[in-house]
Amino acid sequence: MADRLDAWIWAVRLVKTRSAATAMVRAGHVRLNGDRAKAAAPVKVGDEVRLRVGDVARIVVVRQVLAKRVGAPQAAAAYDDLTPPPPPPEERVLVATRERGAGRPTKRDRRAIERLTERGPADRSTDPWAD
C-alpha cells in the first residue's frame, strides 16, 4: 500500500495543514530516501523522510502508511523519529538582538556585536585601512 508523500506528512501530524505539506514538498524542503520528491511521490513502509519544520530538521522512518489524519498517539506510532536531540544551551549560537525602536547600531555597537559572534572584522594584517 502506498500513499502520497504530502498526505502522509499531514496525516502523521508533522505539519498542521495539507496545503502546508504540499507547499513544503514543492519548495524542496522534504526529501524521500535522500532525494527531492514530488508531492505525489508514493510513501512505503521503511522509507526515510527528511523535512525541515521551522528551524528543526526532522528525520523519520515510515512504519505505517496512513491516508487520513489520525489522533496524536496513532500518528506517533506511524513513524520512528530519528531526529537528533537539539544541542545543549551552552553550544547554541548566540544571536545579538536589539531593543525595538533602538535605531541603527553605531560603529561601536556593530564592533561589539562582531566580537560577540566571533565573526570579527576582516584580517587587519592585510587591510591597509585598519587602525
In the chain, what is the straight-line distance between the N-terminal and C-terminal CA atoms, in Å?
68
Burial environment of residue 107 by CB neighbours within 10 A (0 to 12, 13 to 18, 19 or more) = exposed
C-alpha cell at 76: 506517533
Residues with Cβ within 8 Å of residue 53, at least 6 apart in sequence = 14, 15
pLDDT band at 114 (very low <50, low <70, confident <90, very high): confident
Report if pTM > 0.85.
no
Residues with Cβ within 8 Å of residue 44, at least 6 apart in sequence = 1, 2, 62, 65
Report, at the CATH architecture level, how domain 3-85 is classified.
Roll (3.10)
pLDDT at 97 over 80: no
